[in-house]
Amino acid sequence: MILMQEEDDILGDEAEEGSTRDVIKIEHTMATPLEDVGKQVWRGALFLADYILFQWDLFRGCTILELGAGTGLASIVAATVAQTVYCTDVGADLLAMCQRNVALNSHLTASGGGVVKVRELDWLKDDLCTDPDVLFSWSEEDISDLYNHTTILLAAEVFYDDDLTDALFKTLCRLAHKLKNACTAILSVEKRLNFTLSHLDVTCEAYDHFRSSLYRLEKLEDCQLRFAVEPVEASFPQRLAYERIPQLELWKIFVEPVTSPIASASTAP
């Protein structure tokens, strides 16, 4: 499977007619200001997509929610085997780009019957937008399906700002409490090293904050849910075109209900 950038027609005019079924065509921007970083295709999204291609059976027939989907790459790959993928982000321009990418790759999802629904999901708001006058808002049917059937949550390369990382983890917890089923969140992150004046040294503050957030989540005392965190071994095959650097990581968060022990007849009051 090949990632095909809008700017570079990798196959050219002489491509074989049948080869397009193995091409993911993604509209994106090569460089953006910080507020539009979702319009770029990041290595972490490709890394996550590779994992989906490797763990096909894990996603088969599932309902999936992607948070901060950006161009929609991981959602599109997931939809080749999943039943329904909610591809979410914020910003009308970005979501419209997402919708175009879904349409560009409908040949990949159609054979398996997967559906990608592009929706707005703002981590800084507690409720989903249900206003029918707002583009990419949620219907009552969408919300019911989301809460009743979702078992996998995805997020890739969204951990570059501490406030947004906090909002993501808050959103993940809020959603987990509303989901009917136990779920697994799969997070992709790149450990970026930067020189900071405050430390006069090379640090990875955004990554460190992400790891601290994972630790706090696992230690969270919650009477309803238990969160278990584990890293994913990065030895799975690479099928997409990108530089797989050692700083790319995947983390899984397993979310299960807390089961209270059943009192025996002798100890019951």
> How far is it, in rounded angstroms, from Cα 103 to Cα 76?
10
**Band (6; pLDDT cuts 50, 70, 90):** very low
Q: Which pLDDT score, from 0 to 100, does residue 138 have?
A: 98
Examine the pLDDT at 2 and tell me if it is beyond 60: no
Q: Which pLDDT score, from 0 to 100, does residue 203 have?
A: 63
* 3-state SS class at 253: strand
pLDDT tens sequence across 219-244: 998 889 999 999 999 999 999 989 99
Please enumerate, as own/partner, the contacts of 170-178 that have beta carbons within 8 Å and a separation of 24 or more.
170/123, 171/67, 171/121, 171/123, 172/67, 172/217, 172/253, 173/217, 173/220, 174/126, 175/65, 175/150, 176/225, 176/227, 176/255, 177/224, 177/225, 178/147
> How far is it, in rounded angstroms, from Cα 18 to Cα 164?
42
> How far is it, in rounded angstroms, from Cα 198 to Cα 156?
28
pTM: 0.85
Examine the pLDDT at 81 and tell me if it is beyond 50: yes
Question: How many CB atoms are closer than 10 A to CB 258?
Answer: 9
Percent of the chain with pLDDT over 70: 80
Maximum separation of any 2 CA atoms in the chain, in Å: 79
State whether the Cα torsion 57-238-204-73 is positive or negative: negative
pLDDT tens sequence across 89-131: 999 999 999 999 999 999 888 777 899 999 999 999 999 999 9
How wide is the angle at C-alpha 120 spanned by C-alphas 118 and 123, nearest 5°? 135
Do 186 and 152 form a contact (C-beta atoms < 8 A)? yes
State both tokens at 60: 């088969």
Lowest mean pLDDT among 19-28, 141-150, 248-257: 19-28
pLDDT tens sequence across 167-225: 999 999 999 999 999 999 999 999 987 644 454 455 689 999 999 999 999 999 888 99
